[in-house]
Amino acid sequence: MATKPKKEKEQGKERTAAAAPGAFTRHLEEIAAILEWFDSQEELDIEKALEKVKQASTLIKESRTRLGELENEFEEIKAGIEGDQ
């Protein structure tokens, strides 16, 4: 069942579990496991399939968010490097 991301504290800042170190990789692994589940089904249980789709949807949204955060961090580092020159 899809749930809201847990919040964690990091250096005085609140962040979602989606932003936790390694979250992006874990999300990709979970999405891969869901795909494997679909591939392994002889007959599809539509209710279980719907839950898996909801779970994958949540993971994809969180992954997109985290990817954007990582991109911003890289841009900040790049700007800092270019500003030091």
Domain ranges across the chain? 17-84
At residue 74, the pLDDT reads 94
- With H, G, I as helix, E, B as strand and everything else as coil, classify residue 1: coil
Rounded Cα distance, 31 and 16, in Å: 19
Q: pLDDT for 2-52, tens place per residue?
A: 444 454 444 434 455 556 778 889 999 999 999 999 999 999 999 999 999
Residue 3 makes CB contacts below 8 A (sequence gap 6+) with 58
Beta bridge partners of 11: none
- Measured at the CA of 32, the angle between CA 35 and CA 1, to 5 degrees, comes to 75
